Structure 1
Amino acid sequence: MTLNGKLESEMEINMPTAKFYNIWKNETHHVSTATPDRIQAVDVHEEGNAEVFKEKLEFDDETKSVSLVGLEGDVMKVYKVFKPTYQCIPKGEGGCLLKMTLEYERPSEDIPPPVKYKSFMVELAKDVEAHHLKA
């Protein structure tokens, strides 16, 4: 028996939709610069607590969404499916609403939902925003 789930959160960021989306689409190598405490390298893929996460990036230009589809790494040893997605929705002057979704599949009820990774997504977005505001 497998257990599918989805965790969601939203936050407003003081950053244009196009800029946040572009960092992931065209400047992924800058993510580790924006958030060095959480991502030590983007060879594509280091994660905060010395965990490795290798992903394939998928982009939807129409909805300004970027998904990080898990391929291998520490999180994939626990979950069968792991797919964090950021969607940037324009809001007001130079800001956007960032919708974060984490789709996952657990192999059994003994495995908890990946709540810590949802928090990681939020903190990562805050770091990218702070880096943008410094520039």
Structure 2
Amino acid sequence: MTVHGKVETDVEIKAPADKFHQVISCRPHHISNMSPGTVRGVDLHDGDWGKAGSIICWSYTHDGETKVAKEVIEAIDNEKNLTRFRVIEGDLMKLYKNFVFVVQATPKEGGGSIIRWTLEFEKLSEEVTEPYSLLQLCTHLSKDIDLHLMEQAQVQAQA
């Protein structure tokens, strides 16, 4: 019975890795403005924005349904532009015993970045499918954040 798993995807974006990482790690509450079709809101439940150990709650749309995920920020590595979130409550816990999102932004030679999303999970049963549709959500989210960051950079360049 295989219940442990890991799925990954890489998303190429134009924005700098450190800027993307700052949004994911320190300003996730701004993502609902960047990707309103995907993220409805992000609230801080305990701790401080951008600090490991803090607990945040995401309200998001997945497969046409509004869902929630309460997560603890397990790690923020600013040198590697990496953030690790562990889901502790919410809709994913109906299907998975454990669920972790790892987001890493790596600068690309010549500009832009590669965003790697790694989803690590332990399913409650073999019947639960791998979370490929969540990877698609992460890809969409990355592209929305990228678009916002690039528009913001363009506005700052014109100022």
Q: CA-atom RMSD, angstroms?
A: 1.4
The structure number with the bigger radius of gyration is 2
Whole-Å separation in 1 of the counterparts to 2:95 and 2:115: 27
**Number of aligned residue pairs:** 135
Task: State the match for 2:109 in structure 1.
Answer: 92
| Cα displacement (A) at 1:47 | 1.5
Task: State the match for 1:101 in structure 2.
Answer: 118
5 Å-filtered alignment, 1:1-135, equals: 3-43=3-43, 44-48=57-61, 49-57=65-73, 58-135=75-152
What TM-score, normalized to structure 2? 0.79
Whole-Å separation in 2 of the counterparts to 1:112 and 1:26: 31
| Cα displacement (A) at 1:62 | 2.8
| Cα displacement (A) at 1:2 | 6.2
Whole-Å separation in 2 of the counterparts to 1:34 and 1:14: 15
Runs of 4 or more above 4 Å deviation: none
Unaligned runs of 5+ in 2: 44-56, 153-159
Unaligned runs of 5+ in 1: none
Identity %: 33
Whole-Å separation in 1 of the counterparts to 2:25 and 2:130: 28
